[in-house]
A and B are shown apart, each in its own frame.
Chain A
């Protein structure tokens, strides 16, 4: 009786453990996969009001991402199997002012990305440098410093001190434990600027919470840069891989 009672207790314990201790991330083997699962005390996704928004979990003892060579987990009480991409460009115009051969012009714009259940994302910039209709400002093809008197148009996504203090490094929200977005090579070094249409300027290699980016623009002209009003449309395209 004692032996059978022990078996019964062990089996019940296994059952209870299996029911209440299921991890909140994808599980798989050759024959099955659980992409996302939720078993636990409570949680909600994307609660919001005009004043706040959040992804909530209740009762999780450990949340966030963890990874090894072959596995990556997203731990927490609440997950969703739906892909999610939030991509917002909050700046619609950047005026660099009157360009001169004596001073670099600067400006900034902001965008943010949050991407879930993905293998990461990439943000590309698409569009030509500003043009006056017949002449387009020369893009900086490889990351270079601002050079007054040389025609240049470039951007980066970090805080700079030259030609002036402007711009900002990517800001992880709520923290670097959940968000992993980063400026890409060519656009991630202070005081060095680059612009090539189609370049990937920002991205994350994994599912990421919100990252707020600041684009820093610089423009210089030479004495032969044609006069006129210059304008260019920059389109940012965010692609998530799921």
Chain B
């Protein structure tokens, strides 16, 4: 009885040991399948559904340092389970990898040789390099020219497998990464077209037309030994993308059938010579006018922007800006000289300034 009981105890103990051995063998046996790629991710240049020419950059850290000679990446609708681009089975709808190309030089897979890509099967991108040697480390492999899957806000997966040979046969590591398409957001707004333009003889500030007033500029009594001068103002601002131009139109100073010669080319003031002209800068001879000011950056046109040089040709552009501009104040300086033969009389003219914005 005692012997029999001892055998029972030995038998049950052996069973327990066998159970434990089986259990621990199951738990601690070394797996024969590929190890896991770690720190793996894929970065897309765009998540737009059907986005063409999308760049995919894969980063991963191999578990083994074995040099990698080929890499296979399958695009799948699921992270695991059936997926075979050759069949094709489980490939995301709308995806097109057949136009892909290697972007840059793959790194971290090994050293030496040149990597070439195989993109003939949609949903499967492969690279190979029979000369890759040394050790693998944190790797980066980038591709361009991929068309994203067409379904929006939908996840898809890329199953990455590395091989120690260049024939995609001897597997080293594997890992899956996830990506997703997403709606693009269209942000819209409108900006109304604007043009602020005013003239006057005073009241225009460096930022506003609000106080503009006055329509007459008196040049005084002209003699062969004096120069008549006066000023007026122009204010302008626009958000026109192609900017603005200010033109002047009118005749020279006129008294009945008599006129004072306009200055056809930019010229200095010359007493004793018939002259009528204007410019948009500060002058010293005679002392009249001031430089353009305000937040805008428009400038006087050629012929009207040089100190002490004056010109008047009807229809000329006297100031402009080639893009939108903040408020700009121009001071127009007028001068007139007469000769000994200039007919007496009351001379005047009406000048019209036109501000034109090009949107």
Q: Residues on A close to B: CB < 8 A? A: 1, 4-5, 7-8, 11-12, 14-15, 18-19, 31-33, 35, 81-100, 105, 107, 109, 111, 115, 119, 126-127, 129-130, 132, 134-135, 137, 215, 217, 219, 221-242
Contacts and interface: CB of A to CB of B under 8 A. Distances in A.
Interface pairs A-B: 9 shortest CB-CB: A82-B79, A227-B193, A85-B178, A87-B180, A226-B241, A96-B189, A89-B183, A89-B182, A88-B153
Interface residues of B, number: 61
A176 B128 CA distance: 45
Contact of A237 (B19, B39, B45, B187): B45
Contacts of B330: none
B184 A235 contact: yes
Interface in B147-192: 153, 155, 157, 175-180, 182-192
Interface in B66-104: 78-80
Contact of B186 (A19, A129, A232, A239): A232
Contacts of A84: 79, 155, 178
A225 B239 contact: yes
Given A7-B13, A92-B184, A221-B191, 16 more contacts: A8-B9, A8-B16, A15-B20, A18-B23, A83-B79, A83-B178, A84-B79, A85-B180, A98-B190, A99-B190, A137-B189, A215-B185, A229-B189, A236-B182, A237-B45, A242-B177
A31 B325 CA distance: 71
B9 A1 contact: yes
B316 interface: no
Contacts of A99: 189-191
22 contacts: A12-B16, A89-B153, A91-B183, A92-B186, A96-B189, A98-B189, A99-B189, A132-B191, A137-B189, A221-B239, A224-B238, A224-B296, A225-B191, A227-B194, A231-B189, A233-B184, A233-B185, A233-B187, A235-B46, A235-B185, A239-B41, A239-B44
SS class of chain B's interface: helix, strand, loop or mixed? mixed
A219 B238 CA distance: 19
Nearest to A233: B184
Contacts of A94: 185-188
A127 B30 CA distance: 48
B189 A130 contact: yes
Nearest to B37: A242
* Residue from the set A14, A81, A224 with the largest chain B CB neighbour count within 10 Å: A224
Contact of B185 (A8, A19, A236): A236
Nearest to B326: A224
Contacts of B41: 239-242
Interface string B218-252: 00000000000000000001111100000000000
A32 B252 CA distance: 99
Contacts of A82: 78-80, 157, 176
A114 to B, nearest CB: 10
A107 B187 CA distance: 9
* Residue from the set B43, B51, B237 with the largest chain A CB neighbour count within 10 Å: B43
A127 B189 CA distance: 16
A241 B25 CA distance: 32
Contacts of A81: 80
Contact of B182 (A11, A88, A135, A229): A88
Contacts of B327: 223
Contact of A92 (B40, B51, B157, B183): B183
B47 A238 contact: yes
Contacts of A15: 16, 19-20, 23
A118 to B, nearest CB: 8
Nearest to A217: B187
A105 B189 contact: yes
Contacts of A127: 184
A111 B20 CA distance: 51
A231 B186 contact: yes
B184 A234 contact: yes
Contacts of A223: 194, 237, 239, 326-327
